[in-house]
A and B are shown apart, each in its own frame.
Chain A
Amino acid sequence: MVLLDIFDPKAPPKPIGIDLGTTHSLVAYVRDGRPVTLTTCDGTALLPSVVHYGEHGSILVGAAATSYATRQPERTLQSVKRFMGRGAKDVDPEELGAYRFKRPESEAEAAVVRFDLGQGRSVTPVEVSAEILRSLKQSAVDQLTHVGGVVLTVPAYFDDAQRQATRDAGRLAGLEVLRLLNEPTAAALAYGLDQKKNGTFAVYDLGGGTFDVTILLLDDGVFQVKSTGGDSALGGDDMDRLIAEQMLVAMGCTEPSTRTSEVVSIALDAARQAKHVLTDEDRVVVQLPKRGGGEASYELSRATFDSMIQPLLERTGRVCRRALRDAGSSASAIDGVILVGGATRVPRVHSYVEELFGQKPLGDIDPDRVVAYGAAIQAELLAQASDEVLLLDVLPLSLGIETMGGGVDKILPRNLTIPAGAKSVFTTYADNQTGFEIHVVQGERELAKDCRSLARFTLKGIPPMPAGMARLEVAFDVDENNLLKVSARELTTGIEQHVEVKPSYGLSDDEVEQMLIDALDHGEEDFAARRLVEARVEASRLLLATRKGLLDDGDLLPAEERRRVDAAMEELEAAVQSAGRAGVVQLKLDALDAATHDWAGRRMNRAIQAAIAGKAVGEVEKDVAQAEGVEAHLERHGHRAGDEDTKEAR
């Protein structure tokens, strides 16, 4: 195993973008200013999102796995994206599928969907997705040698649970997840930078299992989402199911008992193929095996297919109209419609979108690759901390807390620009009450039980007080990944509350860590080694960034602080060279962080002043005295000798 992965400024790790799709996944990077997809283990750009678990422990991903789909459907998992962040209760027993789900044996187990592979083995959607990501990562390493951070895309309408699950899958696959990026935004980024067009655009993203619509404003490097809407359980797969249902009848399999996984798998596979044929042909005839022997002939015309999928399309239409309303826009105000996702190749989808928006969708984009391209671009921009592009995305679903009566108190409304945050002040209802629970939900419904339960936050350690006296301020922050963080403070005493998070779904940090350890050959040992490498890479990166920062804003550091920063940097360098454990490096990282804390604030003030003045940060040198803010200004004038030192040090 390669232990030394020290960051070499001459050959920096290449950041990549990954589109983890329902039916296909891709990995891309930016080469010479343009995004390109990498070849996957199948030798193609598109890797089927299929994983086969062999009886003797082998794991296959991609086309090799797909070949087992009809033979061993229960060990060959497809379209697991639909189950990410979902619990056993969310699975619709009526829906056609070849999965065999494991019945949960406890409340805790029921929090996550599990697929029963037989012989006592089961896997979660996170683990399956991690296999796909691992394969893509390997392809990237094979072609790029040094792989840096990754931007993973998610449907815009994914809730917090689904996003956390995606990030967990990334971590499990050993990826450094830089950002979770919404798929429509990724597409708009790729399209916008390529075409350099400005205006209001609608991205209509119909994938295998999810539907998103996003209304964005593109304006010279600014990509501002106005609104987003969607349905995270609607996609091309649903079209397949409609056809498969009819095929099963033709096959003589109407009774549920006749619908074994193999039979369903055959029908779904044939349905998908029929759908593809109807993209170019007016009708398709399929020979299907018949129950009891022989063959059945099934015929489908495009006209019939079109009417079968009309209800699905109308669902997307309702979502689009709401998104337009939320954006304060209308179809006529849209300058262009961008189609994303394989399902948009269906001719009826194309014509429906044209009717909906009153214009022909834009034609110069590859609906299969555009999301991966956008992810690669964002990864590159983040790695450079570039200010060339400003991406302003939104919270897709309202966040609220459950009230006494089972209703929802909305704290952060949907379509809020992220990062966003709000504070709520609570009080106790009983004397000496030292803790209480907050149930956070996500969704637009009136009742908490109809919304997605995200987590129960238990606040502990409230100082004993008469009822109603405590002032518990709970801060709900949604970060740039659209992930929720909760923190709490008791205002009368100022004590930071211990907030315990019990997620309603998914895996805790400890569980993910344990899975990582289990997955490595030498468990704990390898895990520790990996952590050390990661810590050293992060340290090298930070040292480089700090040195650069000193060149730009070294004048904002008075002598004494500068000495502390220099000392902290030296200690961190030493740790990178000689430390045997990640913890040691982390300590020095934290120390440098602390030493540069105030300076970081001043740098931000300077950047703000420059931004408001409409100038680029570098041009502001002459105005520093005014722009610095009171603190820095006073320091300068109070430390004459130090001032000179600082100037020289630059």
Chain B
Amino acid sequence: MAAATHSPSSRSGVPADPFITLGVEPGFEIDLAALERRHRDLSRALHPDRHQDKSAGARRQALSRAIEVNEAFRHLRDPVLRAEALLRHLGIDAAEGQEPKASPELLMAVMEGRERLAQARAAKDGAALSTLAAEVAGEERKTLAALGEAFADARQHPSEHRDRLLDLLGRLRYQRRFLEEAALIEEELF
């Protein structure tokens, strides 16, 4: 058996648009505090705790809508998932593997980064690990800013910006995975 996709819950089998679920203006730059408030407000109305006294059917409805809201929130909070949702919203297929071939310069950076990570791990070098993580975190910040700009530009003619957006998304995915791995190694060693 092959699992094709994992997607936020929705009623029809098509991934629900998290922007619509939460009633948020689609965009990459997002006010996280406002998003949290919106999530909380919706949770107040939909959380199963509020519907304890209702019939089984009403409780099921509330539960399924609460799940949708939580899933939508999770997708908008994480920049990679948010970018993916936004791309879907713009009609661009953003599944992994759809990215245009990575530039040689990016590939080199990826390989170097991985080597340094492996070395730091083998040598149990905490300082090298921290330095490396800080560098990549800096790169991640730049990628996030670039994505914000690219999405803003893409509003009018999304398909024209497809390659650039997918390239930036690819970088972001790599950078975040790298930081996760570095965190795991740190946990493992210390």
Residues of A near any B CB (own CB < 8 A)? 178-179, 222, 224, 318, 321-322, 325, 381-383, 385-387, 390-392, 401, 403-404, 409, 411, 416-429, 436, 438, 471, 473, 475, 477, 479-480, 489, 491, 541-542, 544-546, 549, 589-590, 592-594, 596-597, 600-601, 603-604, 607-608, 610-612, 614
Contact = CB atoms under 8 A, between A and B. Distances in A.
Most chain B Cβ neighbours within 10 Å, of A411, A542, A611, A614: A611
25 contacts: A222-B40, A321-B187, A385-B54, A390-B47, A404-B1, A416-B70, A417-B70, A417-B74, A420-B67, A421-B67, A421-B71, A423-B9, A424-B3, A425-B5, A479-B48, A479-B63, A541-B53, A589-B56, A590-B56, A594-B57, A596-B55, A600-B54, A600-B57, A600-B61, A611-B45
B44 A387 contact: yes
Most chain B Cβ neighbours within 10 Å, of A222, A387, A401, A480: A480
Interface string B1-21: 111111111100100000000
A422 B46 contact: no
Contacts of A491: 13
A390 B66 CA distance: 13
Given A387-B50, A424-B5, A593 B56 contact: yes
Interface of B: 1-10, 13, 23, 38, 40-58, 61-68, 70-71, 73-74, 183, 187
A594 B61 CA distance: 12
A608 B46 contact: yes
A426 B70 contact: no
Contact of B9 (A429, A471, A475, A489): A475
A411 B48 contact: no
Given A321-B187, A475-B9, A612-B42, 13 more contacts: A222-B40, A385-B50, A385-B51, A385-B53, A417-B74, A419-B63, A420-B71, A420-B74, A429-B2, A479-B48, A479-B63, A604-B46, A611-B42
B49 A385 contact: yes
Contact of B1 (A427, A596, A610): A427
Nearest to B68: A421
A616 to B, nearest CB: 10
Contacts of B48: 419, 479-480
B44 A611 contact: yes
Q: Is the interface of A mostly helix, strand, loop or mixed?
A: mixed
Contacts of A610: 45
Sorted from nearest, which 6 A-B pairs have the closest CB atoms? A600-B58, A607-B45, A593-B55, A545-B53, A421-B67, A421-B9
B23 A382 contact: no
A417 B73 contact: yes
A419 B2 contact: no
B130 to A, nearest CB: 14
Nearest to B56: A593
A484 B87 CA distance: 31
A426 B63 contact: no
A604 B1 contact: no
A321 B184 CA distance: 11
B3 A419 contact: no
A604 B62 contact: yes
Contacts of A423: 6-10, 13
Contact of A419 (B4, B57, B70): B70
A422 B74 CA distance: 12
Nearest to A392: B43
A178 B70 contact: no
